[in-house]
Amino acid sequence: MRALIPFWSILSKDMKNYYLKPPNISWGIIFPFAWMLMMFIRTKTAINIQEVFPGIVSMSILFGTTSMLAVTITFERKARSFERLLLAPISIESLVFAKISGAILFGIFNSLIPVLVAIFYFKLNISSMFSLISGIILLSVVSTLLGLYISVAAKEVFEAQTYSNFFRFPMIFLCGLFVPVLSLPIIIRPLSFILPVTYGVDLLRNSINGIHIFQTAVNIVILLGFIVLLFTLSIYNIKKKWIK
């Protein structure tokens, strides 16, 4: 119970100082609409929502979580405010979880915009609500941890954003966001299966049309494995590089 007080204090402070700012909220709303508009301009026809839905939701989560975390983590490291948080009566694992919780919630919020538009405007039929919810939550967590792992190595915000783009943009083409993984050339297809976003997108595709590469349980287990791995590596790097 005592550990929940500093946890909530850190989370509420981050939400107030970073995530609940009007520019960030508006960006989270506009970003998915921008991707829908891009799809419309590219095809010059009505959007096939079943084809673009998994990609738009995944992009909203991936870019939202990694971008915001790059700002919060790198800024606080530079300002040395993270060192002051180490004085809180809370373990380093709980401290890091409190720091990433805001980004996870921000990623889930970003995903709600295209989901609501797809359901209520485009009349998208959700065949598996469990796959949809699991995909959104797990993709938000794994994307946040990927952003954390990248941000730990950066000293400036622009460095963190540059490192993030090095991973994010290849994922657009390799993780099945808009081009199905099984349609990729065989020689580069193995790269898709070492990226965690692939399995989140597979869950989202399964939720609307039942098309999937792996079974739902397999995708969830693999994503949980990536979450544990990225969290462990991030904690290790923080202790090694930030805590002297």
For residue range 66-98, list pLDDT tens digits in order.
877 777 777 777 766 666 666 666 778 888 888
Question: What's the pLDDT score for residue 38?
Answer: 67
Question: What's the pLDDT score for residue 203?
Answer: 94
Asked whether residue 18 is assigned to any structural domain, the reply reads no
Asked whether residue 196 is assigned to any structural domain, the reply reads yes
Range of the domain at 55: 28-33+49-241
CB 103 within 8 A of CB 65: yes
Asked whether residue 21 is assigned to any structural domain, the reply reads no
Domain count, the chain: 1
Asked whether residue 99 is assigned to any structural domain, the reply reads yes
Per-residue pLDDT of the chain (244 residues; tens, 9 = 90+): 566 777 777 778 778 777 777 666 666 667 666 766 666 555 544 457 777 888 888 888 988 888 777 777 777 777 666 666 666 667 788 888 888 888 898 889 888 888 888 888 778 888 899 999 999 999 999 999 998 888 877 777 677 777 788 888 888 889 988 788 888 899 999 999 999 999 999 999 999 877 889 999 999 999 999 999 999 998 888 888 766 5
Asked whether residue 96 is assigned to any structural domain, the reply reads yes
- Angle between helices 92-120 and 216-241 in degrees, nearest 10: 140
Annotate the chain with three-state secondary structure: CCCHHHHHHHHHHHHHHHHCCHHHHHHHHHHHHHHHHHHHHHHCCCCCHHHHHHHHHHHHHHHHHHHHHHHHHHHHHHCCHHHHHCCCCCCHHHHHHHHHHHHHHHHHHHHHHHHHHHHHCCCCCCCCHHHHHHHHHHHHHHHHHHHHHHHHCCCCHHHHHHHHHHHHHHHHHHCCCCCCHHHCCCCCHHHHCCCCHHHHHHHHHHHHHCCCCCCHHHHHHHHHHHHHHHHHHHHHHHHHHCCC
Asked whether residue 108 is assigned to any structural domain, the reply reads yes
pTM summary value: 0.88
Asked whether residue 15 is assigned to any structural domain, the reply reads no
Asked whether residue 220 is assigned to any structural domain, the reply reads yes
Please name the amino acid found at residue 101: S
Establish how many alpha carbons lie within 13 A of residue 38's alpha carbon, considering only the half-sphere containing its beta carbon: 12
Establish how many alpha carbons lie within 13 A of residue 203's alpha carbon, considering only the half-sphere containing its beta carbon: 26
